[in-house]
């Protein structure tokens, strides 16, 4: 089996979906976590000068989406055939839409503008995107609780990790989306995922 090393900050962020994939697969890997004040000393070591970086037998792979998609395919969490993989990618891309609209209110510098953008995001934009996700889950999930084919894929893991942060800001944001709430609960019932969530480092983000 290949050896795996995943390097990122000591937080969930853009690496947590890959950590969840490793957990679901029961795959051992080296989980390297840098504190933010350690980052400048290691930036030059990173391919493209950014994290996360996955090393597979010493070969480095950058970009969080490429890493997660590779790992999902490697451990059979990307869909059973090409069309199922496309359905998973459709769900994942819709989750990335949440990231794109959320980022200005999350990382902007003007606190007044950030507050206004956050209010608009949680009040208007997020509900639309969550409805899109619930539509896809009901369409592709074959009547089950997972996004595609009534089996766990990395779309479910990705949704779990982004909504963990969203729920930390607005605990009610999923209240009108029962299918999505059930999806999160089903992910947390998976024994390997439950064990990982219980034992992982506690971080704010």
Question: Average per-residue pLDDT in the chain?
Answer: 96
Q: How far is CA 87 from CA 58, 64, 92, 123, in A?
A: 32, 19, 9, 28
- Say if residue 109's pLDDT is above 80: no
- Say if residue 107's pLDDT is above 80: no
Higher pLDDT, 9 or 112: 9
pTM summary value? 0.95
- Say if residue 61's pLDDT is above 80: yes
Domains of the chain: 4-75+193-199 (3.40.30.10), 82-189 (1.20.1050.10)
According to the model, what pLDDT value does residue 182 have? Answer: 98
Report how far residue 92's alpha carbon sits from residue 65's, in angstroms, rounded to the nearest whole number: 9
Q: How many CB atoms lie within 10 A of CB 128?
A: 11
pLDDT one-digit tens code per residue, 42-60: 999 999 999 999 999 999 9
170-199 burial, b at 16+ Cβ within 10 Å, e below that, comes to eeebbeebebbbebbebbeebeebeebeee
According to the model, what pLDDT value does residue 188 have? Answer: 98
**What's the rounded mean pLDDT across residues 104-120?**
85
């Amino acid at each position: 089996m290949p050896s795996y090393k995943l390097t990122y900050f000591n937080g969930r962020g853009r690496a947590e979906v890959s950590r969840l994939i490793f957990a679901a697969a029961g795959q051992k890997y080296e989980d390297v976590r840098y504190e933010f004040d350690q980052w400048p000393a290691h930036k030059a070591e990173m391919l493209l000068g950014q994290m996360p970086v996955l090393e597979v037998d010493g070969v480095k792979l950058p970009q969080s989406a490429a890493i997660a998609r590779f790992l999902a395919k490697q451990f059979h969490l990307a869909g059973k055939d090409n069309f199922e993989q496309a359905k998973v990618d459709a769900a994942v891309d819709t989750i990335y839409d949440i990231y794109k609209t959320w980022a200005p209110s999350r990382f902007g510098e003007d606190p007044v503008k950030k507050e206004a953008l956050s209010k608009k995001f949680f009040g208007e934009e997020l509900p639309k995107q969550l409805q899109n996700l619930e539509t896809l889950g009901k369409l592709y999930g074959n009547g089950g609780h997972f996004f595609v084919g009534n089996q766990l894929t990395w779309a479910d893991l990705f949704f779990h990790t982004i909504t963990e942060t969203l729920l930390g800001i607005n605990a009610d944001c999923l209240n009108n989306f029962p299918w999505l709430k059930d999806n999160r609960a089903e992910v947390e019932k998976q024994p390997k995922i439950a064990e990982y969530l219980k034992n992982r480092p506690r971080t704010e983000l």
